[in-house]
Amino acid sequence: MAPGVARGLAAAAGILALLAAPRAASASLGGDVSSVTVDWSRLNGVDRVVARPDGHVHEIRLPGGTIVREYLSAADVVFAVTWRGPFRPNLRQLLGGYFEVFEQEAQAARSRRPGRGPLVVRRPELVVEMGGHVRDFFGRAIALNLVPQAADAADIQY
Amino acid sequence: MKLPLATAWLSCGLAVATGCGGHSGSGSQLGSGSETRSGSQSSSGSSSSGAANSISVTVNSGPATIEYINGLFTSVTVCVPGTTTCQTIDSALVDTGSVGLRVLSSGAGGELSLSLPIETAANGNPIAECNPFINTYTWGPVRMADILLGGEQAHSAPIQVIGDPEFAAVPDSCSSTGGTSADTLEGLGANAILGVGVVPEDCGGICAESPTAANTQNPGNVYYECPSSGCEAAAVAVENQVQNPVSMFSTDNNGIVIDLPAVPANGAPSASGTLIFGIGTESNNALGNAQVLTMSPTMLSFSTTYSGQTYTSFIDSGSNAVSFLDSNLTNISTCTSTTFEGLYCPSSSATLAAVNVGVNGATSSVSFSVANAETLLSSGADLAFGDLAGTSVNGEYIDWGLPFFFGRKTFFAIEEAQAPGGSTPYVAY
CA A63 distance to own-chain centroid: 19
- Interatomic CA distance for residues B287 and B21, integer angstroms: 34
A131 neighbourhood in chain B, CB within 8 Å: 134-135, 323, 392-393, 397, 399
β-pairing verdict for B322-324 and B397-400: antiparallel
Per-residue pLDDT, B23: 33
Q: Which of A45-54, B101-110, B299-308 shows the lowest mean pLDDT across its residues? A: A45-54
% of chain B surpassing 70 pLDDT: 86
Q: Do B203 and A86 touch (CB under 8 A)?
A: yes
CA distance A147 to chain B (A): 16
pTM of the model: 0.86
Q: Three-class SS of residue A109?
A: helix
Give burial (CB, 10 Å; 0-12/13-18/19+) of B286.
Answer: middle
Residue B399 touches chain A, beta carbons under 8 Å: yes
More confident residue, B214 or B2: B214
Average of pLDDT values for B193-219?
Answer: 78
Find, among B225, B256, B248, the residue nearest to B158 by Cα: B248
pLDDT for residue A14 is more than 70:
no
Residue B197 touches chain A, beta carbons under 8 Å: yes
- Interatomic CA distance for residues B141 and A95, integer angstroms: 28
B132 neighbourhood in chain A, CB within 8 Å: 87-88, 132, 137
Q: Name the H helices within chain A.
A: 33-43, 91-95, 99-112
Residue B215 touches chain A, beta carbons under 8 Å: yes
Facing B321 at nearest CB: one of A107, A117, A130: A117
Q: What mean pLDDT, rounded, does chain B reach?
A: 87
Q: Do B339 and A11 touch (CB under 8 A)?
A: yes
Facing A131 at nearest CB: one of B341, B343, B392: B392
Residue B322 touches chain A, beta carbons under 8 Å: no
Q: What are phi and psi for residue B45, nearest 5 degrees?
A: -115, -10
Q: Which domains does chain B have, with CATH numbers?
A: 28-248 (2.40.70.10), 287-428 (2.40.70)
Find, among B192, B191, B266, B206, the residue nearest to B236 by Cα: B206
Angle, CA A23 vertex, CA B173 and CA A107 arms, to 5°: 50
Find, among B62, B50, B51, the residue nearest to B93 by Cα: B62
Facing A1 at nearest CB: one of B172, B221, B319: B319
Per-residue pLDDT, A33: 73
- Interatomic CA distance for residues A12 and A146, integer angstroms: 29
